[in-house]
Every structure is written in structure tokens, then in C-alpha cells.
Amino acid sequence: MPLICIAAPKGGVGKTTLAANLAGALHCAGQPVLAMDCDPQNALRLHFGLPVWDGAGFLMQLPLRPDWRSLVRDTASGVALLPHGANDIRTALRLAAALEREPELLLAPVRAMLAEPGLILVADLPPGPSQMLNLLAPLADLVVTVLLADANSAALVPEIDSGRFLGSGALSAPQAARVRIVLNQVEATSRLSRAVAEAMVRHLGPRLLGAVCRDEAVAEALAAQRLLHAEAPGSAAALDIEDIARGIAALLPPLPLSTEPVAP
Ligand SMILES: Nc1ncnc2c1ncn2[C@@H]1O[C@H](COP(=O)(O)OP(=O)(O)O)[C@@H](O)[C@H]1O
Ligand SMILES: [Mg+2]
């Protein structure tokens, strides 16, 4: 049913961390969730306990028209996962060229996923204005955009305001209305972090979904290859993420309850 894209104008801001843990928090709230890794870094799987050597995935196989259902992985968290798959430059170029020629290679299976009753699809996007974001943003109910509470991120706010970050053209303005922002790694003890966070609250208003504090438990959960609420329940960042997941759920259309597993 709904598609939530997790994106950012720059890398290393916590997109994958938030994609994994928001998927987990939405699943805990009672909906089936499918997390799809669209970033060739193929890192989303690490939050869900897949071994580093496991290079199987969905996105990298798109030119072969794979059956997405057969590639869905069950995870201990209960979130269903479509990893990107291991990647090299030749595969990446072949995928980009195939999608340029035939966007339906991605859009047809995504529409099939969105037709699943009650299913929430969370897509982890590559940094910046990517081909993947360009294709998926028009289908998205929400584009959750992750920023840090620092000067670099503050400088990117005009890109987000104008919708340029989602690509140029007539669609960028209506799509900008679906953009919501999450501030990550906010530090209450840092003057700069506090000042940027306060300025973002003033400027973004209701477009700011919430903030996640910088918390070592986040990196520890990744090291343990578990979601934050399983590894460090009650940690400050886990509570922040639960809050944001509630905010996201409130923005989505009402969902039918479903107990059907995603994979056949
Ligand atoms: N709130 C946080 N507190 C502490 N570390 C964080 C937090 N969010 C992300 N990180 C760490 O920042 C790094 C980058 O996060 P990641 O999710 O991989 O970013 P991206 O997907 O945007 O490249 C990782 O090492 C992650 O553990
Ligand atoms: Mg990432």
C-alpha cells in the first residue's frame, strides 16, 4: 500500500539506519513491512542480520526480470527484506542503462508490492538526486529526507524547499509537498547542533517529522546486526525513532490490518 522513500541530498547522514529502524518500528506497530534496499552500497541487510558474504538481492537483478517474491528474505525482526544485492561497476552500469531504457523493470514490481493489502514499503535510497529516487518519488506517499544538524545540511534546505532535490521538471513542486524531514544525530550538548535544530524547527514547521539524537546505541545495534529496539530498547534514539514512526503512521492513509506474510 504506502511507499515511504528514505532519501537525503548527501550520504552518511543515517538514511540506511533510519530506513531499517523505522521499518522495524512500523512493523512493531502492527503492519507488515517490506524494506527494499535501492542503494548499491547494499548495507540495509546488515541491520537485519544477513551475513556480510550474502550478496543475494533484488535490485541488481532487475535487468533479468526477477520474481521479487522469491527474493524476499524473512528477518528476525519480522520485517521482510529485499536486499540490493552485491554490486560491481559493470553490473551498476548495466542496471542504470536498463532502467533508463525501461523504467518498468523497477516500476512494475514496485506497483505489485504496493498492491499488497496493508503492506508498508520502505525504500532506502542512494544519496543525492539518484535515478532510483527519480523513478520512485512519483509513487511515494512520503519522501522522508534525512539531514544532520550541521552547517552542510542547513545549506541544503533550499534544494529541499524547491523540490530540486527530487529532480527538475513539472513534477518536482507537487512532489516537494510529500517531503518530510528528519534531523539525525542531534546533540543536546553541542551549541551548533542545538542552534541548527532550532533554526530547522522554525523554517520547516510541520514538515519536520522529528529528530533523532546522536546515540552510541545506534552504532552498537548495527555492530550486533540487530534493530535498535531489539538491541537497546528504551535507548534515547530508539524512543526518538518510535516517535517518528508514529508521526509517519499518522500521515499515511488508514491501512487494513493484514496478517498475510509477504513472501509466498
Ligand atoms: N543517531 C545516530 N547516532 C549515532 N550514530 C548514528 C546515528 N545515525 C547514524 N549513525 C551512524 O552514522 C553512520 C552512517 O549511517 P548510515 O545509516 O549508514 O548513513 P547513510 O545511509 O545516509 O549513508 C553509521 O555508522 C551509523 O551507525
Ligand atoms: Mg546508506
Q: What domains can you pick out in the chain, each with its CATH number?
A: 3-251 (3.40.50.300)
In this structure, are residues 35 and 48 in contact, taking their beta carbons and an 8 Å threshold?
yes
Three-class secondary structure of residue 65 per DSSP: coil
Gap from CA of 41 to ligand 2 centroid (Å): 7
Nearest protein Cα to ligand 1, atom 25:
219
Q: What is the dihedral of CA 56, 37, 212, 133, to 10 degrees?
A: 160
The per-residue pLDDT for 168 is: 61
179: which strand partners? Answer: 143
Gap from CA of 48 to ligand 1 centroid (Å): 15
In this structure, are residues 241 and 25 in contact, taking their beta carbons and an 8 Å threshold?
yes
Q: Ion ligand 2 — residues with CB under 5 Å?
A: 15-16
How far apart are alpha carbons 124 and 37 in whole angstroms?
Answer: 5
Instruction: Pull the grid cell for residue 121.
Output: 514499503
How far apart are alpha carbons 227 and 229 in whole angstroms?
Answer: 6
Counting from 1 in the atom list of ligand 1, the atom nearest the Cα of 12 is 23
Q: Mind listing the pLDDT tens digit for each residue in 39-71?
A: 999 999 999 999 999 999 999 999 999 999 999
Q: Mind listing the pLDDT tens digit for each residue in 64-91?
A: 999 999 999 999 999 999 999 998 899 9
Residues in the chain, pLDDT under 50: none
Ligand 1-lining residues (CB < 6 angstroms): 8, 11-17, 43, 184-185, 212, 214-215, 218-219, 222, 237
Helix (H) / strand (E) element for 82: namely strand 80-82
